[in-house]
Amino acid sequence: MTANVMVVVERQFDVPRDRVFRAWTLPEELRRWRGSPGWHVESETVAGDLQIGGRHTHVKVRDNDPGTRVTTDGVYTEYFEPDVFVSRERITGDPGIDPNTPLELRVEFTKYGRDGRGTLLRIIQGPYDPDVAGWHGEGWEKELTRLQNYLAGTGEYANGEDAS
């Protein structure tokens, strides 16, 4: 199959966009919430050089099978805090993604609401093979629920820490 599908996911947060942007880009925050249920980010693998041309990495590990690991290694091609970042990424360990074909990840942070204190987050990523695009969109939805819990200080974070 030809990888030709872009996944688009949006979520509104009642949190200022600079706060949401920091949660996405600062390694000490990213490691707290990334990963779908049943996965966590290995803290010591998270790194980020927050500028155009800067590299960022992290490794997600399956909770019940630590040998299952998905590595993301990216380079920022755009980085405009707190509005948007774009990254060209190679992902290894995910059976639905060809590690030799880079994906593009674009994350936009837009003010919303009457007072402009909320954030509309929009993720655009791909290209994916049509057979796996839906699964990856669902994965983003689950991760954004974790981000929402992290920002609200409620729920369980990706690394199993409790918010309390």
- Give the single-character DSSP code of 64: T
- The 10s digit of each residue's pLDDT in 30-60 is 999 999 899 999 999 999 999 999 999 999 9
Q: Is the dihedral of CA 72, 78, 79, 85 positive or negative?
A: negative
| pTM strictly above 0.85 | yes
Confidence of residue 155 (pLDDT cuts 50, 70, 90): low
Confidence of residue 116 (pLDDT cuts 50, 70, 90): confident
Which among 133, 92, 98, 121 has a CA at the least distance from the CA of 22?
Answer: 121
Q: Which CATH architecture has domain 5-152?
A: 2-Layer Sandwich (3.30)
CA distance 34 to 13: 16
Q: Show me where the domains of the chain are located.
A: 5-152
- Give the single-character DSSP code of 51: S
